[in-house]
């Protein structure tokens, strides 16, 4: 069965209440308001039914309006991973990995076509609620990318396979670009250069490392090898939700060649591969003991593409399975 995060379910209900619906309107929901604090996810069909019910009550465009209210934190572990992306377009790569590992409710694919990149959403609308959810997803994409980059980047076009609503006012306000309906594909398109925009966090991190390199050059100083190792570990942690980073990728962030970075790490008695493993072990142990993240979510956060591969690796590292480590006898 396919599931949707309870945080998204709650967000839709809360915004419907803010637009004038009442608690009484939701009394017959399969997942009642009173039980939302006790669960982490709802069946996708219930989420789509919720969209359909609200669509019958409120003015056209609710799906787009609620999408505009989404915050990065509303996406739980996936949202946390977005905060450490180095480029705006990485959110789609991470989303693809996340949903392949933990759910099959979404499938994103980025297709570059010269100066434009189309972000495809492969989720066929077999019912009205899926159409509405697709609209909300693209609407939320706009605000999430703007929040991550702290810019006003906007799509160049949006395409939906389903037909248009009676009123497009909210759609034009949210997307600020041509919006096409009854099309062969669902996609939201951006300038490729916009998707390559560094995120606000990446700008801060990259600037920090580059300043240190400039100081080394101009003042004849050398940042300690232990500090280098600590910085690399921090960058590895940020990169893992996209998969295992390469030393070339990390070195680029730090303004170093992979050869130089290898040498600097060896000065502290560690290799890049060992630092990857050390970071994975540290993250996984911390999340198992100090968070409610599922084993699948922890696998995602530590760079694994399969939960089973993570479980085997954790057993090799610690002699215990993830669940044994979390709940010792």
CATH of the domain at 133: 3.90.1520.10
Average pLDDT over residues 263-278: 92
Handedness of CA 128, 131, 132, 133 (dihedral sign): positive
How many angstroms separate the Cα of 103 from the Cα of each of 78, 168, 296? 12, 32, 10
How many domains, in total, are found in the chain?
A: 3
Q: For position 106, what pLDDT does the model report?
A: 66
Whether residues 148 and 221 fall in one domain:
no
DSSP 4: E
Q: Tell me which of 270, 286, 310 is where a domain ends.
A: 270
Whether residues 158 and 54 fall in one domain:
yes
Whether residues 237 and 298 fall in one domain:
no
| Residue 120: strand, helix, or coil | strand
Whether residues 214 and 91 fall in one domain:
no
Q: Tell me which of 130, 164, 195 is where a domain ends.
A: 195
Question: What is the domain range of residue 234?
Answer: 200-270
pTM listed for this prediction = 0.83
Average pLDDT over residues 215-223: 62
Specify the CATH number for the domain of residue 312.
1.10.10.60
Q: For position 280, what pLDDT does the model report?
A: 97
How many CB atoms are located within 10 Å of the residue 59 CB? 14
Whether residues 140 and 31 fall in one domain:
yes
Per-residue pLDDT at 263 exceeds 80? yes
Whether residues 37 and 68 fall in one domain:
yes
Whether residues 155 and 77 fall in one domain:
yes
Whether residues 40 and 169 fall in one domain:
yes
Whether residues 180 and 222 fall in one domain:
no
Handedness of CA 194, 199, 200, 206 (dihedral sign): negative
Q: Tell me which of 173, 195, 217 is where a domain ends.
A: 195
Q: For position 213, what pLDDT does the model report?
A: 63
Q: What percent of the chain has pLDDT over 90?
A: 62
Whether residues 73 and 183 fall in one domain:
yes
| Residue 65: strand, helix, or coil | helix
Whether residues 289 and 258 fall in one domain:
no
245, 239 contact by CB (below 8 A) = yes
- H or E stretch covering 57: helix 44-57
Whether residues 291 and 225 fall in one domain:
no
Average pLDDT taken over every residue of the chain? 89
Per-residue pLDDT at 311 exceeds 60? yes
């Amino acid at each position: 069965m396919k599931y949707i995060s309870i945080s998204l379910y709650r967000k839709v209900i809360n915004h419907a209440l803010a637009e004038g619906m009442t608690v009484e309107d939701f009394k017959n929901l399969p997942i009642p308001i009173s039980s939302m604090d006790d669960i982490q996810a709802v069946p996708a069909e219930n989420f789509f039914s919720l969209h359909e019910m609200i669509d019958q009550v409120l003015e056209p465009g609710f799906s787009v309006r609620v999408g505009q209210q989404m915050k990065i934190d509303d996406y739980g572990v996936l949202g946390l991973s977005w905060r450490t992306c180095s480029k705006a377009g990485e959110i789609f790569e991470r989303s693809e990995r996340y949903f392949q590992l933990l759910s099959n409710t979404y499938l994103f694919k980025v297709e570059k076509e010269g100066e434009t990149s189309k972000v495809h959403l492969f989720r066929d609308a077999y019912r009205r609620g899926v159409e509405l959810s697709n609209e909300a997803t693209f609407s939320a994409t706009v605000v999430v990318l703007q929040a991550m980059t702290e810019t006003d980047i906007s799509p160049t076009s949006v395409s939906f396979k389903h037909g248009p609503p009676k009123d497009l006012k909210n759609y034009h306000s949210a997307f600020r670009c041509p919006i096409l309906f009854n099309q062969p594909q669902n996609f939201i398109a951006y300038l490729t250069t916009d998707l390559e925009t560094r995120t606000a966090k990446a700008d801060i991190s990259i600037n920090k490392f580059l300043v240190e390199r400039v100081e080394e050059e101009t003042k004849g100083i050398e940042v300690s090898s232990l500090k280098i190792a600590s910085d690399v570990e921090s960058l590895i942690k940020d990169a893992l939700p996209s998969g295992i980073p390469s030393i070339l990728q990390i070195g680029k962030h730090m303004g170093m060649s992979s050869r130089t970075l290898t040498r600097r790490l060896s000065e502290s008695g560690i290799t890049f591969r060992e630092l990857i493993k050390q970071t994975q072990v540290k993250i996984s142990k911390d999340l198992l003991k100090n968070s409610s993240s599922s084993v699948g979510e922890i696998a995602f956060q530590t760079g694994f593409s399969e939960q089973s591969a993570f479980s085997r690796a954790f057993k090799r590292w610690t002699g215990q399975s993830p669940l044994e480590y979390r709940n010792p006898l």
